[in-house]
Amino acid sequence: MRKLLLAILTCSFLYASATEPGYLGIVINTNTDNQVAGVRIVDAIKNGAAEEFGLQADDIITSINKTPVKTKEEMLAVMATLILGEKIAVSYVRNGNAATKEVILGQSAQKTTIKVSKSDQPDGEHWTFGDDQTELIIEADKKTYRFIRHTEPGVEEIFFSDGELFPDNQTITSNALQKLAYVRKIKHDREKCSCSCPITQYTFYNIPAKPVSVKTDNTLTLAKFNVYPNPNSGVFNLEFATQEKGKAQVTIMDISGKLVRTEEISIGENGTFSKQINLENLGKGAYFVRIKVGDKWQTKQIVVQ
C-alpha cells in the first residue's frame, strides 16, 4: 500500500534516531533510472544543511562517509548513526559528474500536513483547503487568481495577479500568499515525481532560518578581507588573504540568515583570492559575506542599494 507522503508520492523524508540526531534536510527517493546506484534528492529543504553546503535537488547520493547507499533504506540506516553538528563526507553525482562535499549536519525539519484537494473546472483550477475552508482558484489564463475565505459573517473574496498589489486586509492577504505558495510547491513536486494520483493531503517541511553569528573561537584569521565598493549596486569586489591552505567556502546570506549563494574556491599559492561578485538579481538590502576555511570563518556586511 502506498504511503501518503508529499501528496501520496513515494518519497521519504530523511531522519535519524541518534540521541542528538543530525539531519541533511532533504526529501529522498531511491534512484530508479538504472544509470547510477544511489539515492536521489527530491528536494533540498530551505535552510537545511544540504542546501547550505550546496547539495541540490536531482543530485544522486552514492555514499556517506565512504559507506555506499544504494537505496533510501540504506541511507536512513547510515544517517541513524550520525549526530547534530557532525561533519560528514557526502559523495554524489550531478549531471553525470561525481563529486564529494563535506557537510555539517543540522537540525530536523518541522512538518506541516494540510488537507487539500484539486478539481479542474471550466474557469480554472480549484484548490480547496479543508482545514480552514478556503479556496484558491487559478484562473484559466494561468495569470490571475481568486482567493475565497469563508468567515462567520459571510464570504471574503479577492482577485489578484503576480504583479498586482494586495488589498489592505493583511489577514486575508497573508492567507492568500501562503495558499499560493502551497499550491506552487505541490505542483512543482508532483511534476518532479510524475505523480497523477488524486490529492487528499500534503506534507510540507520547514527548517527555520538561523540568525547569523560568529563565535570568537571560530574566527578565521585573515591578513586581508576587503569588499568594495560598499555600499554598491549589486556588483562588488571580494579580496582576502590567509595563511590557511586548501579550499575555502564563500557564502552570501541575507539579513535573516538565508543562504542566497555559495561557492567553493581554491586558495592561491600565496594565500590570496580576488573575484568580482554580481548580486544584481537579488533585491536591495543588507547581506553578509562569509569566508570559511575548515571550521573557522569570518563575516562582513555589505549593502546593496
**For each of the chain's 305 residues, which pLDDT tens digit applies?**
333 233 323 333 333 333 467 889 998 988 888 889 999 998 898 888 999 899 999 999 999 888 888 888 888 878 877 878 888 899 999 999 999 999 988 888 888 899 999 999 998 999 999 988 899 999 888 888 999 988 777 788 888 887 665 666 667 788 888 899 899 888 888 887 667 778 888 888 888 776 433 333 456 788 888 999 988 898 999 998 888 777 888 888 776 667 788 888 877 777 888 889 998 888 888 787 888 887 777 778 788 88
Handedness of CA 159, 181, 94, 253 (dihedral sign): positive
Q: What pLDDT, on a 0 to 100 scale, did the predictor assign at position 219?
A: 66
- Backbone dihedral region for residue 95 (phi beyond 0: left; psi -120 to 50: alpha; all else: beta): left
Q: What fold does the segment set 216-304 form as a domain?
A: Immunoglobulin-like (2.60.40)
CATH architecture assigned to 12-108: Roll (2.30)
Q: What pLDDT, on a 0 to 100 scale, did the predictor assign at position 119?
A: 92
Residues in the chain: 305
CB of 23 within 8 A of CB of 29?
no
Please list the residues that pair with 28 across neighbouring strands: 12, 41
Rounded to 5 degrees, φ, ψ at 146 are -130, 130
Instruction: For residue 144, give the H/E element and its range.
Output: strand 144-150
Q: How many CB atoms are located within 10 Å of the residue 292 CB?
A: 18
Q: Where are the domains of the chain?
A: 12-108, 111-206, 216-304
Output the nine-digit C-alpha cell for 211.
Answer: 540568525
Output the nine-digit C-alpha cell for 263.
Answer: 561557492
Query: In one letter, which amino acid is 246?
Result: G
Output the nine-digit C-alpha cell for 245.
Answer: 591552505
Output the nine-digit C-alpha cell for 80.
Answer: 541513524
Q: What pLDDT, on a 0 to 100 scale, did the predictor assign at position 168?
A: 62
CB of 238 within 8 A of CB of 230?
no
CB of 120 within 8 A of CB of 128?
no
CB of 103 within 8 A of CB of 50?
yes
Output the nine-digit C-alpha cell for 133.
Answer: 475552508
Question: What's the maximum distance between 2 C-alpha atoms anywhere in the chain?
Answer: 72
Inter-CA distances, 30 with 14, 78, 185, 187, Å? 12, 15, 21, 21
Q: Cα separation of 72 and 179, whole Å?
A: 30
CB of 225 within 8 A of CB of 240?
yes
